[in-house]
Amino acid sequence: MRTNVISFITDFGTRDNFVGVMKGVILTINPEAALVDITHEITPHCVSEASFLLERSYRFLPPGSVHVVIVDPGVGGSRRPIAVRADKHFFVCPDNGLLTHVLAGVSEFEARLLENKDFLLVKISNSFHGRDMFAPVAAYISKGVPFEKFGPRIADPVMLPLDRPFTKQDCLIGTVVYIDHYGNLVTNIREQELSGFLQGSAGLVQILKHQIPRVTSSYSATPVGEPLAIIGGFGMLEIAVNCGNAQQVLGASLNSEVVVSRSTDATA
């Protein structure tokens, strides 16, 4: 199954011409492509952030979509350019761990090294493989070029170490893996993991020196300016401040530890 939908996750920002040029390359090859910007505001060079957002995003696009993911601090070096077919979607990216979260959640995948020059631009720069390699390959995939034509199969795409929540002394311990535009602290504790641990009890959440007495069901259940814990739109436990910025108020950052313990208080 293929579709004309091509999505983008990059750290390019929107000030420069990078995104527009990639789109121009794609539309020259496939004028029928439907282009979706998931985000171009990944923290520069932060592969783990892009990997997390990709896994939390791609399923909301139609099966057969092609996802161009470019956070590429090793561009021009020895890292491989790859395309991967997994979970009825296609992914085109540098092989530096960007697909870690996606591949950790599937039972099988097919990865190809992008070696066939028929599907690349004639001149490959040392610093803009998004334009010269990944954009054209995405366009040709969306046009239905057989996947095996792009290059030889590889079995070992790079995987980043994944922090998993764990239990210790009757506590569920996780970490902050993403901080959104509002300063909300997204943890690696999934809703199912949290509910399985709490077993109907309220959750006392601690981050750094701050304690939140329960996991609430809405922002409005907490006074303005106060911290709260909630299952957010990512389906993960998040720590926020109602109408405020939890990163600034709580002094937290990526990898800050989050500890959940059971409480006898009623869940809001």
pLDDT per residue of the chain (268 residues) written in tens, 0 to 9:
678 999 999 999 999 999 999 999 999 999 999 999 999 999 999 999 999 999 999 999 999 999 999 999 989 899 999 999 999 999 999 999 999 999 999 999 999 999 999 999 999 999 999 999 999 999 999 999 999 999 999 999 999 999 899 999 899 999 999 999 999 999 999 999 999 999 888 889 999 999 999 999 899 999 999 999 999 999 999 999 999 999 999 999 999 999 999 875 544 4
What's the distance, CA 33 to chain centroid? Answer: 23
Q: Are 40 and 67 a contacting pair, CB within 8 Å?
A: no
What CATH number belongs to 5-154? 3.40.50.10790
Please, what CATH class does the domain formed by 166-263 belong to?
mainly beta
pLDDT at residue 22, rounded to an integer: 98
Domain ranges (residues) in the chain: 5-154, 166-263
pTM: 0.93
**Torsion sign across C-alpha atoms 123, 125, 129, 131:** negative
pLDDT at residue 264, rounded to an integer: 57
Q: Quick one: which H or E segment has residue 196?
A: helix 191-198
